[in-house]
Chains A and B, each alone.
Chain A
């Protein structure tokens, strides 16, 4: 990396991290976790972006060159060929199921039955192979068939490729453009695994009434695997927060009582485990989280960046979360799409003078910058932040970067399908260093489990 890029990278990352940590940077940072706008700004269709990885770099370069004031950046996390390799039916994709210029969309479904909680809790490997995956991966409808075996092989190859693309892209952004990632890795609330991919919204809402104890038991059982799967793809240097899109905890999906009993306890435990591992979190509070903001005050200060969606009131969010967690948002999506640069400027000024004035604020749309944002509005937003969002010329904050977890930290037990002891018995013992063989055997078993787990959302 050139010295200039290194300097630029550090400057941006420092500003972003300082805001998350509730320190005062030199100005309000500009960062979307999901910059949908950047995917299509260079002129590509949604389909091109999702299907052709070469377009990623083209799009990133064009965006960063035109908007160098952005401090941390991430776009697109889908690679269509990976979905196609296994027939993943949880999303409709542009150009395949939807018009090429439409965004990808989640498909509701009951991919786990009401009576399958015990199997999920006690034997997730069997649950995944025999129940969930045949319903979720269209190419895996008949486990054991050539088609299904090919799906597993193609899917794992494609996942490896995708990991490589994402890593290269991240390195390119850092070295050639001096741009940090706004997020790395992902996990969901345990309840949302049930409500999104497994039981589906209808299923989980009936379970809330009919078998709440099973929900609680499953949420707790999922935590160790959620944490391990999230850590596996998080930034190894702990610079970027881990992405946490939050779904069914919004008003009016659950009553405050249901939220407190069924949604929050396992989510809080999971978040604390990532924080204890040395990470920060970027949580998208999608929809209206007003009734539940106060819970985020229970977490260590400055560790969870909360994105406030357009249905939430950013001013109220500041009142409830100010001094506890950094918040992001404030720009109505409709204004970025339909408004004028003058309106945008006025709005940014207001945000800078109110929610942004004491730090702990990052400018953004509602959990992202919309695809259809007008470029002149995005530009106006940036210019207005430079004009009204400045705190000082210099600031003290040391970049947080650490390849090691805090002393004494241990990951949750890593799940495998076939324990080493079984393998060792089959081998009838080994002739050299057993540890060397065991370690790698378990690593690959565990990675394979994470791969299976990754299809749950």
Chain B
């Protein structure tokens, strides 16, 4: 925490104005945009940790996302000719299962995963099983996250797992489920590998699968 740069520190403190002026200064000084992004990512990683330890809550998480969005819109024009940083911690595919349109919980997980360096393919809400399977095949991701808020979705989760098996992908993919109605009983019913009781344990599971722990 103490070795964060001034920019990362300002982001962790959610100091919108300071972040904005620091970014402007750095751009004017000709600092490469990827360096600026790297500093912000360090700040986001720290924010994720504070969320995990209940020092930060949802409003802090949403606020940090908003500040980051502002930074990215400043940097966007400068990024056109820059080669993307491909050193991600791994790919995670995630989405809310069919017929459920809720995404607050899923978005928290996405924010924390990105803050930890994962590349996240977010399929959004009301995602049919076929789309999950197709995306797993295309990305080669090792982890699939299924999210739900409503308790009628248990069969929809099971359907995704069954279709992964039918497509011959089951042993290549670890499936985690999460969201208000999920528990061990639901995990077993769905045939998933892991129950993410909260966003932080979901992130830990992804780290474990990608051998980061």
Contacts and interface: CB of A to CB of B under 8 A. Distances in A.
B180 A206 contact: no
Contacts of A258: 57, 59
A371 interface: yes
Contacts of A309: 180
B141 to A, nearest CB: 27
A362 B59 CA distance: 34
B60 to A, nearest CB: 7
B60 A372 contact: no
Nearest to A365: B151
A208 B59 CA distance: 7
A337 interface: yes
B170 to A, nearest CB: 21
The bracket for how many chain A residues form the interface is: 20 to 34
B181 A92 contact: no
A371 B66 CA distance: 37
B101 interface: yes
Contacts of B66: 206
A230 B99 CA distance: 32
Interface string A99-139: 10011010100000000000000000000000000000000
Contacts of B180: 287, 309-311
A333 interface: yes
Interface string B1-29: 00000000000001000000000000000
A372 B151 contact: yes
A253 B59 CA distance: 7
A98 B156 CA distance: 15
A62 to B, nearest CB: 21
B54 interface: yes
B154 to A, nearest CB: 6
A337 B62 contact: no
A252 B57 contact: yes
A335 interface: yes
A333 B57 CA distance: 27
Contact of A105 (B60, B62, B101): B101
Interface in A261-315: 287, 309-311
A370 B152 contact: yes
Contacts of A64: none
Contacts of A208: 59
B151 A99 contact: no
A253 B108 CA distance: 11
A334 B151 contact: yes
Contacts of B123: none
Residue from B14, B51, B181 having most chain A Cβ neighbours under 10 A: B181
The bracket for how many chain B residues form the interface is: 20 to 34
A370 B3 CA distance: 50
A152 interface: no
Given A105-B101, A372-B152, A335 B181 contact: no
A372 B186 CA distance: 13
A372 B56 CA distance: 36
B83 interface: no
A205 B57 CA distance: 10
A254 interface: yes
A423 interface: no
A340 to B, nearest CB: 11
Given A98-B99, A252-B54, A255-B57, A334 B154 contact: yes
Interface string B100-142: 1110100000000000000000000000000000000000000
Contacts of A335: 185
Contacts of B154: 334, 337-338, 372
Interface in B34-54: 51, 54
Nearest to B100: A105
Nearest to B197: A311
A202 interface: yes
A370 B189 CA distance: 17
A258 B59 CA distance: 9
Given A310-B180, A333-B151, A334-B154, A205 B186 contact: no
A87 interface: no
A354 to B, nearest CB: 19
B78 interface: no
Residue from B62, B101, B151, B186 having most chain A Cβ neighbours under 10 A: B151
Nearest to B58: A253
A23 to B, nearest CB: 32
A201 B62 CA distance: 9
A253 B51 CA distance: 11
Given A107-B101, A337-B151, A337-B154, A205 B63 contact: yes
Contact of B104 (A201, A371, A372): A201
A205 B151 contact: no
A245 interface: no
Interface string A339-355: 10000000000000000
Contacts of A99: 99
A309 B60 CA distance: 25
Contact of A103 (B56, B104, B150): B150
Given A253-B58, A258-B59, A338-B189, A332 B101 contact: no
A431 interface: no
Contacts of A287: 180
Given A107-B101, A255-B56, 13 more contacts: A102-B152, A202-B62, A206-B59, A252-B54, A252-B57, A254-B58, A287-B180, A332-B185, A333-B181, A334-B151, A334-B189, A339-B185, A370-B151
Interface of A: 92, 98-99, 102-103, 105, 107, 201-202, 205-206, 208-209, 252-255, 258, 287, 309-311, 332-335, 337-339, 370-372
19 contacts: A102-B99, A103-B152, A201-B104, A202-B62, A206-B59, A206-B62, A206-B63, A209-B14, A253-B59, A255-B59, A334-B154, A334-B186, A337-B151, A338-B185, A338-B186, A338-B189, A339-B185, A371-B151, A372-B151
Interface of B: 14, 51, 54, 56-60, 62-63, 66, 99-102, 104, 150-152, 154, 180-181, 183, 185-186, 189
Q: Rank and list the top 4 A-B pairs by shortest CB-CB distance, nearest first.
A: A205-B59, A208-B59, A205-B62, A255-B57
